[in-house]
Chains A and B, each alone.
Chain A
């Protein structure tokens, strides 16, 4: 039988290799929050007849109207994306009108979002609260569902730790993507993140369920062997479910879905992969680390660590 748990510290190290650079990026450049959370406006439009003018000219027009923080880029599809501070409906109309006048062409608005600063902040705050409540509910439920096995509470907590690991990986990737590819954390990203959380927990429960079942009749085995056994038994299902079905669907979304969905599904793709990965390589190993109280040996001489 494959010994997955024996290499657990390598897997921990691998995760840190993604999370640490991500957190450093986050610390230096912050999370690239979209207007959904910071407030501001997002306008995507195109000119019906002419080529898009240089972005600098459009920024100038924003400035002339007294609109702050304008950033303008043109896309491959010849559309123009302009971000700026929050615009009320009158300024929106004024902006579009003077855009048509200045550049002598009618325009088609593809998307025009404007979010007030307070609503964005509140959404962020409540999202964090909603997440905390969800995590707590999951811990309580798992503790209840696993009440038949020893240390039921550990299962809930380990599931949440692994889930936080998945969130950290996703956020790291958004942060790195934001730094190098201009990704933004918007409410769709938030939705993706929430899905990752839901599915991460779902997957952990399936793997833990096998441990629960096996511990009933494999009591005499050492805990580490028992857990490893359970992981291997559920391995085929883990691979099939996550990597084949969910990932197939999302891959199709990522490749063929509209631009709106591409970033969303890419993040989901990575996140759901992590959801499966962390059940096997993070959640279950932490359970073993906890059972063996391995941290007591971490700072002892090397020889004892090799044995672990």
Chain B
């Protein structure tokens, strides 16, 4: 046995042992990483919602605002108590939300899309410093309603810094318009106008609490703590606060659209009932098992001894790939499984290419060991080039899928990509090493019987 071969064998053994460990259903974490088999919505049922930035076609939304919006959506999804929900940005206009096993579809969408609750909160008893320290913190107010009926969850999860329950004077519903302007000194300020009802409430409050702090609170999070300079009777006022143009704009946007820094609308909803999902999963598994059995039979009947080697190489490939799926983790959808099956085809193709060359070399009278080496070397350029082309294609598809929230294409190309990479490893290392190993101990002379020549 050569040094290279021993090294390869050890490497295969370690990788294989690790993969088997990772694939075991009892393994739930490895080196602090969770290990899970993630099944997509089409297999377990659930709902996918694509939210789209509701701005004119040519307006490019600011990346930071979009990231912020998707975080807020994520908080709300977590507030819904859906296990394993996914929220991710797709390109620069879309937020993709996946809610596995959600029953009441409409309610969940309502929660995602709502602009959030804006409150004007009385902080009269606090000093400037105390109030300022509360900025970006979550507080309690006496306004009961927050996110639908789930009043408490978003508050408790983010951590409340003070036990004080503040009084809410009015909500953002009383705002008629908000814009960024400048004051006499040319400093940016946020000016607003209230509805008639709001004007009344605001006038009364500001009269009684002149010089005190009136905090602006979004989804229970303090965003600004301005001081009431003078009573506002007309319903038109300005918020001053050492703003830069940017921070003034940010506050304007928040006041206007609520806690979502960009307006969102529902661009796409997809609901898959749990029964349909289970049915698809079961049938696909059966189909996969049948397909794989036929492949095993064919490979062994046609290629004989190398066929057996190929099957062990393919099983190694499948184990490693599945272990990677569980580690990343890759969400397995129906197209994802199809992508995996196709890369299995590609792994088989590599073996077939090697064996056909191997047989050619045997036919031209080369000894076994040499035939393996030359056969592999001749097959390699075609395996390499054809797989690189597939890798290129799947990378482009993956980009396409992630940019447009086209989860079908994304899931497919990701499993295809991983599968093809592992299949290259299996062709380069596993098949070759296994073949060499077999011929080290067993050198049949009846080629027809052992190689189907």
> Is B189 in contact with chain A by the CB < 8 A criterion?
no
Report chain B residues within 8 Å CB of A108: 273, 275
Pair A130/B345 contact, Cβ less than 8 Å = no
Pair B287/A246 contact, Cβ less than 8 Å = no
Contact residues, B390-431 vs A (CB, 8 A): 390, 392-394, 396-397, 399-400, 403-406, 408-409, 412-413, 416
Report chain A residues within 8 Å CB of B356: 234, 236-237, 240
Report chain B residues within 8 Å CB of A241: 345, 348-349, 352-353
> Is B388 in contact with chain A by the CB < 8 A criterion?
yes
How far apart are the CA atoms of A237 and B349 in the complex, in Å? 8
> Is A110 in contact with chain B by the CB < 8 A criterion?
yes
Report chain B residues within 8 Å CB of A142: 385, 389
Q: Which of B52, B109, B280, B397 contacts A119 (CB 8 A)?
A: B52
Q: Which residue of A lies closest to B403 (CB)?
A: A126
| Known A-B contacts A191-B412, A237-B352, A261-B284; A115 and B268 likewise in contact (beta carbons under 8 Å) | yes
How far apart are the CA atoms of A198 and B273 in the complex, in Å? 32
Pair A116/B42 contact, Cβ less than 8 Å = no
Q: Which of B42, B269, B349, B386 contacts A112 (CB 8 A)?
A: B269
Q: Which of B110, B334, B381, B396 contacts A134 (CB 8 A)?
A: B396
| Known A-B contacts A134-B393, A206-B386; A199 and B342 likewise in contact (beta carbons under 8 Å) | yes
Please, what's the 1-or-0 string for A23-40, where 1 marks a CB less than 8 Å from any CB in chain B? 000000000000000000
Chain A nearest CB, measured from B375 CB (Å): 12
Pair A245/B335 contact, Cβ less than 8 Å = no
Chain A residues touching B, range = 35 or more
| Known A-B contacts A119-B267, A187-B406, A256-B290; A112 and B382 likewise in contact (beta carbons under 8 Å) | no
Chain A nearest CB, measured from B381 CB (Å): 6
> Is B272 in contact with chain A by the CB < 8 A criterion?
yes
Report chain A residues within 8 Å CB of B388: 141, 145
Dominant secondary structure of chain A at its interface with chain B = helix
Number of interface residues of B (CB under 8 A): 76
Pair B392/A138 contact, Cβ less than 8 Å = yes
> Is A118 in contact with chain B by the CB < 8 A criterion?
yes
Stretch at the interface among A5-13, A67-75, A84-92, A217-225: A84-92
Q: Which of A112, A194, A205, A213 contacts B270 (CB 8 A)?
A: A112
Pair B393/A248 contact, Cβ less than 8 Å = no
Q: Which of A126, A190, A213, A249 contacts B344 (CB 8 A)?
A: A249
> Is A300 in contact with chain B by the CB < 8 A criterion?
no
> Is A123 in contact with chain B by the CB < 8 A criterion?
yes
Q: Which 10 pairs of residues, A with B, have the shortest CB-CB distance?
A: A252-B291, A258-B280, A209-B382, A256-B287, A246-B345, A249-B291, A112-B271, A130-B400, A93-B106, A202-B386
A sample of 30 cross-chain residue pairs with beta-carbon separation below 8 angstroms, ordered by A number, consists of A93-B105, A111-B276, A112-B269, A113-B269, A114-B270, A126-B400, A126-B404, A127-B400, A142-B385, A188-B408, A190-B409, A195-B338, A195-B342, A195-B412, A198-B416, A199-B345, A202-B346, A202-B390, A205-B385, A212-B381, A236-B356, A237-B353, A241-B345, A241-B348, A248-B294, A250-B291, A253-B288, A256-B290, A261-B280, A261-B283
Query: Could you tell me which A residues sit within 8 Å of B by CB distance?
Result: 44, 88-90, 92-93, 108-116, 118-119, 122-123, 126-127, 130, 133-134, 137-138, 141-142, 145, 187-188, 190-191, 194-195, 197-199, 201-203, 205-206, 209-210, 212-213, 233-234, 236-237, 240-241, 244-246, 248-253, 255-261, 264-265, 268
